[in-house]
Amino acid sequence: MSERSLKLLLIDDDPIFRIGLRTVCEQFPDLQVVAETAEGSEALRLLEERVKQETGRAVDQVDLVILELGSGLSAPAGMPGLTLCDRLNTQYPQVPVLVISAFSDLSVLTAVQRAGVKGFCPKGTATAELIAAIREVADGGTYWSDVKSLRSLVPRPSSAEVRMPAKSDARASRPLANLRRTLSLPGLRQIDATIENLTVQLQNPALSDLDRAVLQGRRRELRAARWLVNQVLAPNSLPPAPQPPSAYDWSEREDFSPQNSPEASGQTIELDPEAGRLQRQTTGSEMSFRALRSELFEATLAKLNSSLPNLTSVALEIDILRAEKKQELLSIILRQLEEVLDELRFSEVQADQLSEKQYAIVRDLWEKVTTEFFGKYYTLLLPVGEVEVVPVFLQEEAVVQNAILNKIPQVAEFIAHVLFQTPLKIDNVAYPAGSTEALLRAEALLHNLMIQVANAVIQPLLNYFPDVEEIKQSFYDRRWISTRSIEKFRNNLSWKYRLEKYFGEPTAIFESRYWLFLFTYRGIGKIPIYAPRREELMQLSGIPLAVTLVLESRDAVAPRLRSAVAFAGNGVVYVLTQVIGRGLGLIGRGIIQGIGSSWQESKFNKSSPRQNK
């Protein structure tokens, strides 16, 4: 190890973690944190300044960048972690990068390896291991921590196995250290679970500013408590153990190359938690398709366990359903969508054909879900006789398509991403399949597709049989069982579509965005995403076009009008305070002085006769 001090740059949007890591590094004389930041763009600027300062001396040279992979996700304009890794590797290849992150999925590790990262440690790593990783990567080596919490992304056929590297003998021979680690694990798990719960609650768009500030404060306190527990109970005096070749250290394997990488060869690495080993499976594109679909669908299914209240201000058709019926409908959609994806894959449809087939695909999905949810032979006994429900609903195909199904955004892009692992374009940046950004966007598109198809399934029910007692008893929430409440609900939906047609949709087109409904652990939320919609803007006419012109005029006039009003207001304030106010002050002062003089004269006149006597 070099005797000179290693200069470190910290990048993390969590100030508590930065403070903790800086405090740990200050305990070692060979480590020095020369800069820290929460933004990727600021980190690039700091590195550029230090490179310019290197002309005379190399005092400010950065030897290692320590990066949190989740940095930039909390800020709308932030640079995502993987993008920052690519930028650092491209612009400053001489500066190694060590990732310390809570993201520890195998796909994430593979992605950061491709981005040029030289080392990885999960958050919560013991101090001794973390310091050893920092020294190793800063001195030109690689370090990939032994991650034990990866969950399998694919099925487990029998295959060749690569065993996980065993823990160092030095650590195993320290019973006191093992006892401290055993004592810390339950508390750390509880803290992590609470932090995750708070993070989920913070995703609720209906939170007030006060509630959001309180939850963010609690999360910061828990992160600080977690760091403190690690410092007190985690073994921090262990000597750094020599690293055996890690299953994640692709750069030290003899078969590592772009052509032999797991993605290029169709091989997948998974962790068998029961056997404690990694498995390498030689598979084709089918396994990638199944892995990605399983990742998305399992994460979505986990969010369907709540009552899914509507947290937005927009009325939805599924709001009228009981919680269990809503969950049943959404689960059916998820299962039918899985079958549709299988059918598309077996039919060997090409990615460039999805754009013209997306409307037919969504329509077929709607028909299958409607038939399964209500039952193919479900019959209502009405005064006019028995009526088969599903055929009546399927007659509304054209209405449902025009009102809901054809307006679901980016269906073809989502299907192509799942079937063919095509990159998803987010804010004009293409993210590969398996990246954190692509997974989050694909999950949001999936949620929106499910919610809109569910609305399309319930809309014919509200149009044809809204006030039938059997329907109300079987499907409706108890808030909507009276005739008045049902009619109020239907009127709200009618007004929603009118306002959306004439105001909401033109505004979204003009602002180049779509609104997506998505599931959170507390209910259904709503988020905007950027999308180019220039062609739709050129096709607007009538009232929608007038709305965009009004918005454009407001954008052109409002800033100048505000400036003029502010200038006039400042002028009025100046006249009132400096001119009229001072004039009134002088007048008042003269009046007061006159009253004082008169009082003095009257007092003098009263005392004069007494003196004469």
Segment (H or E) for 161: strand 161-163
**Is a pLDDT exceeding 50 seen at residue 283?**
no
Helices (H), 380-475: 389-394, 397-403, 411-420, 436-464, 469-475
The helix-helix angle for 436-464 and 354-374 (nearest 10°) equals 50
**What's the rounded mean pLDDT across residues 252-272?**
38
**Which of the pair, 597 or 407, is modelled with greater confidence?**
407
**Is a pLDDT exceeding 70 seen at residue 498?**
yes
β-bridge partners, 99: 67, 120
What's the pLDDT score for residue 604?
62
The number of residues in the chain equals 613
3-state SS, 224-286, equals: HHHHHHHHHHCCCCCCCCCCCCCCCCHHHCCCCCCCCCHHHHCEEEEEECCCCEEEEEECCHH
**Average pLDDT of the chain?**
78
What's the pLDDT score for residue 53?
58
Count the Cβ atoms, other than its own, within 10 Å of residue 144. Answer: 25
Confidence of residue 600 (pLDDT cuts 50, 70, 90): low
Q: Report d(CA 496, CA 484) in Å as an integer.
A: 18
**Residue of 393, 155, 451 whose CA lies nearest to 295:** 155
Lowest mean pLDDT among 64-78, 142-156, 380-394: 142-156
CB 137 within 8 A of CB 119: yes
- Tokens 């005096």 belong to which residue? 237
What's the pLDDT score for residue 151?
38
Helices (H), 206-284: 209-233, 262-265
Question: Is the four-CA dihedral 17, 18, 21, 27 of positive or negative sign?
Answer: negative
3-state SS, 179-194, equals: HHHHHHHHHHHHHHHH
Q: How far is the first Cα of the chain from the last one, in angstroms, to the nearest whole number?
A: 112
Residues 479-493 pLDDT 10s: 999 999 999 999 999
**Is a pLDDT exceeding 80 seen at residue 609?**
no
Confidence of residue 407 (pLDDT cuts 50, 70, 90): very high
Write the CA distances from 117 to 37, 50, 263, 267, 314, integer angstroms. Answer: 19, 21, 17, 21, 44
**What's the rounded mean pLDDT across residues 11-22?**
79
What's the pLDDT score for residue 154?
35
Residues 37-70 pLDDT 10s: 888 888 888 888 776 655 444 445 788 999 887 7
Lowest mean pLDDT among 117-131, 254-268, 339-353, 404-418: 254-268
Residues 431-477 pLDDT 10s: 998 888 889 999 999 999 999 999 999 999 999 999 999 999 999 99
What's the pLDDT score for residue 295?
84
**What's the rounded mean pLDDT across residues 291-317?**
86
Q: Residue 284: CB partners within 8 Å, gap ≥ 6?
A: 266
What's the pLDDT score for residue 349?
86
What's the pLDDT score for residue 234?
55
Segment (H or E) for 547: helix 543-574
Write the CA distances from 400 to 362, 397, 460, 494, integer angstroms. Answer: 11, 5, 8, 14
**Which of the pair, 352 or 199, is modelled with greater confidence?**
352
The alpha carbon of 3 is separated from its chain's Cα centroid by a whole number of angstroms, namely: 42
Confidence of residue 173 (pLDDT cuts 50, 70, 90): very low
- Tokens 């509880």 belong to which residue? 190
All structural domains of the chain: 6-174+235-283 (3.40.50.2300), 290-540 (no CATH)
What's the pLDDT score for residue 326?
93
- Tokens 């014919």 belong to which residue? 460
**What's the rounded mean pLDDT across residues 174-184?**
59
**Which of the pair, 417 or 183, is modelled with greater confidence?**
417
| Residue 162 DSSP SS3 | strand
Count the Cβ atoms, other than its own, within 10 Å of residue 319. Answer: 20
Q: Report d(CA 589, CA 571) in Å as an integer.
A: 25
What's the pLDDT score for residue 110?
74
The alpha carbon of 607 is separated from its chain's Cα centroid by a whole number of angstroms, namely: 88
**Is a pLDDT exceeding 50 seen at residue 237?**
no
Confidence of residue 24 (pLDDT cuts 50, 70, 90): confident
The alpha carbon of 158 is separated from its chain's Cα centroid by a whole number of angstroms, namely: 36
**What's the rounded mean pLDDT across residues 260-274?**
39
Angle CA 212–216–222, to nearest 5: 150
Confidence of residue 267 (pLDDT cuts 50, 70, 90): very low
Q: Which of the given ranges, 255-269, 357-371, 563-577, has the highest pLDDT on average?
A: 357-371
Segment (H or E) for 530: strand 524-530
CB 80 within 8 A of CB 72: yes
**Is a pLDDT exceeding 80 seen at residue 213?**
yes
Instruction: Tell me the pairing of strands 6-11 and 64-67.
Output: parallel
Residues 103-129 pLDDT 10s: 666 667 777 787 888 888 887 777 888
Across 347-384, where does the E strand assignment appear? 379-382
Confidence of residue 240 (pLDDT cuts 50, 70, 90): very low
Take residue 601 and report the two structure tokens written for it: 């004269």
**What's the rounded mean pLDDT across residues 529-539?**
92
The percentage of the chain sitting over the pLDDT mark of 70, rounded to a whole number, equals 75
Lowest mean pLDDT among 16-25, 419-428, 520-529: 16-25
Lowest mean pLDDT among 90-104, 349-363, 416-430: 90-104
Count the Cβ atoms, other than its own, within 10 Å of residue 415. Answer: 26
Residues 543-591 pLDDT 10s: 999 999 998 888 888 888 888 888 888 888 888 888 787 778 778 777 7
CB 79 within 8 A of CB 100: no
What's the pLDDT score for residue 389?
93
**Which of the pair, 412 or 261, is modelled with greater confidence?**
412
What's the pLDDT score for residue 483?
93
**Which of the pair, 515 or 231, is modelled with greater confidence?**
515
Write the CA distances from 473 to 325, 387, 411, integer angstroms. Answer: 11, 18, 34
Q: Which of the given ranges, 40-44, 253-257, 540-544, has the highest pLDDT on average?
A: 540-544
Take residue 6 and report the two structure tokens written for it: 């290693």
| Residue 529 DSSP SS3 | strand
Q: Residue 567 — left, alpha, or beta (φ > 0 → left; ψ -120 to 50 → alpha)?
A: alpha
**What's the rounded mean pLDDT across residues 276-303?**
63
**Which of the pair, 486 or 594, is modelled with greater confidence?**
486
What's the pLDDT score for residue 203?
62
Q: Residue 228: CB partners within 8 Å, gap ≥ 6?
A: none
What's the pLDDT score for residue 103?
66
What's the pLDDT score for residue 77?
52
Confidence of residue 158 (pLDDT cuts 50, 70, 90): very low
Residue type, 71: S
**Which of the pair, 297 or 53, is modelled with greater confidence?**
297
Q: Report d(CA 567, CA 76) in Å as an integer.
A: 33
